[in-house]
Structure 1
Amino acid sequence: MDVERLTNQVRRNCDISDARHAGLYSICGLALRLRDLYKWTRRLLPWQEDEAGLVLEWIGNKEDQWESMAEEDFGPLSIGSHTFDPFDTEAVNAALAPHGLFYGAGYAYSLKPTFFLAVVIDRECVHGKVVWQLGRELARDLLTLPAFSQDDQVVLRTEAARMFVWDQMIYVRSAGRPALAFALNECCALSDINPDSLRPHLDTIMAVQRHAYIRHELGEIAEEIFDRDIWRQMLSDFPHTPVELLIRTLKDALADTGPDGPLRYFIEQRSRAGLGFYMAFGSGLTPLLFGPLKTAFDAFMHYPDWDAMTQAVDDAHRSAATYTREIIDLYAAASQGKGLPWAQAAIEKTLQTRGILR
């Protein structure tokens, strides 16, 4: 098999996707994603930074390349004498299995096509699902996704995950700093969030955080309250709106608080560090929707009460399920004649009622 040819084909599709969808991001968001992509191309460690001039020159060249590719179509993949559709992941990975490679393709945020190719490190079974642990990435796009599910399997992208968790720690929200400090103390006996102090402990931190990524994906696979087809259609119908943010948060919350999710796992394992990292890195909307979970953890940091945390997770799951059913009912009314604009307004009103959206 010609690995170089395949790598170039996947990279080309990555560039086409990025060229078409770079406009999805804010200027700041795009800059951060380009920085990650630059680091990957230069094989830099998460904390390493090149001179700004070099990075800006590379970004300029990348944007010129995108401009020339935006109208191109995704190309097929060649493996041996066979040609594959770039979204036929099952067939591609069946062909790649003897070569120790794994291929990923699908749709990410705002239904952006995403592709990558990586070396397989390990394959294990967790809760009856295959979990792939990947190493060096040969091709990737703008998205630094630590893990995802594909073909009913879980894929952990180790390179991307290390970069992802590093940035989460360095750019943690002020509201998440106490939880991060708690987690780092439990995990590594660290008393500060200084980058120089964090570097030697990244492997230890990843040993904890990998379970959060894997269990989140397992939770999503098992989660049945928010039907995946309905969820995807809603993402397509309400892109770049508060509704999109809400339904993503609800889907994540159902997965994370469900029986197979990371919160249950960390409680079962009595992992204080795992709980701390989870609460530190939660999305900005999560504590607004599930305040009692944050309240319980704030108390837990001073007086660990596992039963209280279990109850808080139970309550959060029930709350997420109730809210999800309410949102689905409003969305269903749109198809019964009220229309999507009405549904969007009605769903956003639920955020206003909860004091989240003004």
Structure 2
Amino acid sequence: MLEVNNIASQVLLNCSISDARHAGLYSVCGLALRLRDLYKWEKGLYPWQEEESSVMLEWIGEKEEKWESLSGKDFSDIEILGRNYDPFDVEGINKAIEVYGIFYGAGYVHSLKPSFFLAFLDQKTDIEGYPVYYLGRELARDLLTVPAFSQDGCILIRKESAELYLWNQMFFIKKSGKQALGFALKSYGVSDGSPDMLHQNLAKISAAELEGYVYHELGEIKDRVFNRRIWRALVTKFAHTPIELLARSVKDLLADTNDYGKLKHIARERREGSLAFHVAFLDGLRKELFPELIVAFQEFSGTRDWQVIENAVQTGFDTARNLAQVLSGIYLEGEKRDDMKWVEYEIEKELLAPLGIVKV
């Protein structure tokens, strides 16, 4: 008999160990927002529900005490039906538990933070020959609210996290994204962005937007521009630096703009709301690398001319391809020289300095 709660407890322990090790990666504000999400999940709150500050602060204090108690601990194996599995053996673990309607995820995210989760499996489909798992209520998770990712050639859609992620994106929208957000909401029949209207329509909108995550992940899996070995080396050797951020942003842009990706799918299917959400939520380096989409959307919002969007998407793909080629060329030359400091300097000089991210 599979003891689901016992497995969830084991996964939660590894989640806490990872959070304890890597909480220092985040700014004070960034950590507070992630703790806010984790609290809502632990307490079963809706995305829009907020706890009293005093209660939150007490809970955060307890969480930090737990993290301190886990300092120096290694990740634990996951014991299932009398057999122990390495916590990163996702294939072995899922072979053991998928038949019971639950699914496990593990991997490395930004700054090589290990991330783990366990969730009920709602539905399994496929796209272009790749399995797509739609996951429901989450039984274990860490600080990260990740709506989707790919794992061993499979696409995982975390519906619970996706809903919280969408709420956060709308709630913390920057001024520059408000016009596109309004356009997106109207496309879904939401006449205003009042809290009540957002509460009532969040589940419907989030469910409709899951398709976009699927095609982003498919775009990543199908990408053949950015050599995977080189990309992994860049994010590993330069973890938690602007170089890692650039490499990840380029990979994301390729995934969104290649023939299998999210924006190509949106344009083919004429999904106005999804396009507007994508534009509204563009920020940071992703926005710096793809300003053409912002300009194109301004024109599109008045004309509904999809050719304008398709042209911008092609430009975005060309930009990402060129950046991937430059990054790869610099890295390969650095390998020949056996000099990663040279790689760091060249990437900063050739790519990051022109973007205003570093000074050389």
2:321 matched to 1:321? Answer: yes
**Percent of pairs identical after alignment?**
45
2:137 matched to 1:131? Answer: no
Q: How does 1:257-336 map to 2 (within 5 A)?
A: 257-336=257-336
1:302 is paired with a residue whose SS is: helix
Q: Which letter does structure 2 place at the counterpart of 1:115? A: F
2:80 matched to 1:79? Answer: yes
Q: How does 1:170-209 map to 2 (within 5 A)?
A: 170-191=171-192, 193-209=193-209
2:48 is paired with a residue whose SS is: coil
Q: Which letter does structure 1 place at the counterpart of 2:220? A: E
Say if 2:179 and 2:280, in contact at 8 Å, map to a contact too.
yes
User: CA shift at 1:151, angstroms?
Assistant: 1.5
Do the aligned partners of residues 284 and 339 (structure 1) sit closer, same or farther apart at CA in structure 2, a change above 3 Å counting?
A: same
Say if 1:334 and 1:342, in contact at 8 Å, map to a contact too.
yes
Runs of 4+ in structure 1 over 6 Å off: none
TM-score w.r.t. length of structure 1? 0.96
TM-score w.r.t. length of structure 2? 0.96
Do the aligned partners of residues 214 and 59 (structure 1) sit closer, same or farther apart at CA in structure 2, a change above 3 Å counting?
A: same
CA deviations on 1:194-251 (whole Å, 9 max, x unpaired) are 3222111112211332112111111111112112222121112222222122111100
User: CA shift at 1:354, angstroms?
Assistant: 4.8
Q: Distance in 2 between matches of 1:186 and 1:299?
A: 17
Structure 1, unmatched stretches of 5+, are none
Q: Distance in 1 between matches of 2:199 and 2:117?
A: 27
2:143 is paired with a residue whose SS is: coil
Do the aligned partners of residues 67 and 106 (structure 1) sit closer, same or farther apart at CA in structure 2, a change above 3 Å counting?
A: same
Q: Distance in 1 between matches of 2:264 and 2:105?
A: 28
User: CA shift at 1:83, angstroms?
Assistant: 1.6
Q: Distance in 2 between matches of 1:317 and 1:112?
A: 28
2:346 matched to 1:346? Answer: yes
Say if 1:170 and 1:195, in contact at 8 Å, map to a contact too.
no
Say if 1:188 and 1:201, in contact at 8 Å, map to a contact too.
no
User: CA shift at 1:104, angstroms?
Assistant: 0.5
Do the aligned partners of residues 195 and 357 (structure 1) sit closer, same or farther apart at CA in structure 2, a change above 3 Å counting?
A: farther
Q: Distance in 1 between matches of 2:242 and 2:112?
A: 16
Q: Distance in 2 between matches of 1:197 and 1:148?
A: 29
Higher mean alpha-carbon deviation, 5-14 vs 329-338, is at: 329-338
User: CA shift at 1:78, angstroms?
Assistant: 1.4
Structure 2, unmatched stretches of 5+, are none
Aligned residues: 357
User: CA shift at 1:344, angstroms?
Assistant: 1.6
Match of 1:158 in 2: 159
1:124 is paired with a residue whose SS is: strand
Q: Which letter does structure 2 place at the counterpart of 1:17? A: S
User: CA shift at 1:334, angstroms?
Assistant: 1.6
Say what the alpha-carbon RMSD is for the aligned residues.
1.4
